[in-house]
Homo-oligomer: A and B are copies of this chain.
Amino acid sequence: MNVMITGGAGFLGQRLARRLLELGYLTDSNGSKRAIDRILLVDVVPAHDFGDPRVVTVAGDIADAALLHDVIDTQTTSIFHLAAVVSGQAEADFELGMRINLDASRQLLDRCRRLGHRPKIVFTSSVAVYGGQLPAIVQDSTALNPQSSYGMQKAIGELLLNDYSRKGFVDGRVLRLPTICVRPGKPNKAASSFVSGLIREPLNGKEAVCPVAPDTRLWLLSPRSAIECLIAGHELAAASLGSNRIVNLPGISVKVEDMLAALARVAGPELIKRIRWERDPMVERIVGGWPGAWNVAAAHALGLLGDTDFDSIVRAYIEDDLEPNTVS
């Protein structure tokens, strides 16, 4: 298998690559398990190659058709298309969001269409495709109504992937991700960046700002489970998806105040003092408009599993990402 990961220098791209290197195998479009010969990590900055001879890194602009022409050929069996401009940035810089989140996705699909070899494509979508008046639990049959440019761009990517798959140009599958928490590293320009910060910053001895009300309900998936779902989503047979290639990945529905209670239980109540409450109307509007939960039956039936509880998510972050002796 010849795998390409866009956004390959990013947090999810790097974890996915590491996990794929460990696994060593993926299932092709014919249902055959085959060794991974190559993982191509494409990103705007050079990706870490893990010192593994199977890894090739390419730094470049994913919206550049010439780059896509160079990195995708008939040997490319699988593409994890993770590259995106995050929600807050896509809202602030409309043209950048359109170029990366829409144009690049379409050019990637068109490159595959012209090659005609029908690679598997895993495209990550988002809670942000939903908005407006929503039921307490969003169903697979609930209409999309994005209230951010990021959500609009992801919803268009979904439509493209579905139609390019229906036409037989690619073998696509869209995985709608809950908000990923706890992301390691630094805050980014996602409107939901604070969600991981609420857990990560106090555990690293830093202050975190919470821009939303304590009873704001979030729909969360841990990095560990997200990576397992991306791979399991790749492995699915196309026939199991029917006339719609979109799967709402399982999340857990947690209020901000419940997240902080879990942090206190796992790492001590004094950490909560590192939260500063400061409402941000832009973040409240975007994140508050996302679903607090959606129906996970279809994902479970396909064997795509999420987390069991938020305490485990906090513990997983401490095990996987926290530097030793940081908790203070």
- Can you tell how many copies of this chain the complex includes? 2
Please report the C-alpha to C-alpha distance between residue A323 and residue B167 in the assembled complex, in whole angstroms.
Answer: 42
Give the residues from 186 to 208 in chain A that come closer than 8 angstroms, CB to CB, to chain B. Answer: none
B163–A132 contact, CB under 8 A? no
A163–B149 contact, CB under 8 A? yes
A131–B243 contact, CB under 8 A? yes
Please report the C-alpha to C-alpha distance between residue A4 and residue B149 in the assembled complex, in whole angstroms.
Answer: 27
A243–B145 contact, CB under 8 A? yes
How many residues in A have their beta carbons less than 8 Å from beta carbons of B?
26
Given known A-B contacts A152-B163, A156-B159, A142 and B145 have beta carbons under 8 A apart: no
Asked whether A244 is an interface residue with its Cβ less than 8 Å from the other chain, the reply is yes
Asked whether A144 is an interface residue with its Cβ less than 8 Å from the other chain, the reply is yes
Query: A139: nearest residue on chain B (CB-CB)?
Result: B143
Asked whether A147 is an interface residue with its Cβ less than 8 Å from the other chain, the reply is yes
Which residues of A line the B interface, CB within 8 A? 94, 113, 131-133, 140-147, 149, 152, 155-156, 159-160, 162-163, 166-167, 242-244
For residue A133, which residues in chain B have a CB less than 8 angstroms away from its CB? 141, 243
B94–A167 contact, CB under 8 A? yes
For residue A94, which residues in chain B have a CB less than 8 angstroms away from its CB? 113, 167
Query: How far, in Å, is A85 (CB) from chain B's closest CB?
Result: 14
Query: A149: nearest residue on chain B (CB-CB)?
Result: B163
Q: List 7 A-B contacts (CB under 8 A).
A: A133-B243, A142-B143, A146-B162, A147-B243, A149-B163, A152-B160, A156-B156
With beta carbons under 8 angstroms apart, the residue of B131, B146, B152, B163 that contacts A146 is B163
Query: A150: nearest residue on chain B (CB-CB)?
Result: B163
Please report the C-alpha to C-alpha distance between residue A141 and residue B159 in the assembled complex, in whole angstroms.
Answer: 17
For residue A166, which residues in chain B have a CB less than 8 angstroms away from its CB? 147
Query: How far, in Å, is A107 (CB) from chain B's closest CB?
Result: 12
Query: A113: nearest residue on chain B (CB-CB)?
Result: B94
For residue A143, which residues in chain B have a CB less than 8 angstroms away from its CB? 140-144
Please report the C-alpha to C-alpha distance between residue A143 and residue B144 in the assembled complex, in whole angstroms.
Answer: 6
B152–A159 contact, CB under 8 A? yes
Query: How far, in Å, is A99 (CB) from chain B's closest CB?
Result: 12
Given known A-B contacts A163-B152, A167-B149, A244 and B144 have beta carbons under 8 A apart: no
For residue A144, which residues in chain B have a CB less than 8 angstroms away from its CB? 143-144, 159
Known: A133-B141, A142-B143. 15 other contacts (CB 8 A): A94-B167, A131-B243, A132-B242, A132-B244, A140-B143, A141-B143, A143-B143, A144-B159, A145-B243, A145-B244, A146-B159, A149-B163, A152-B159, A156-B160, A159-B159
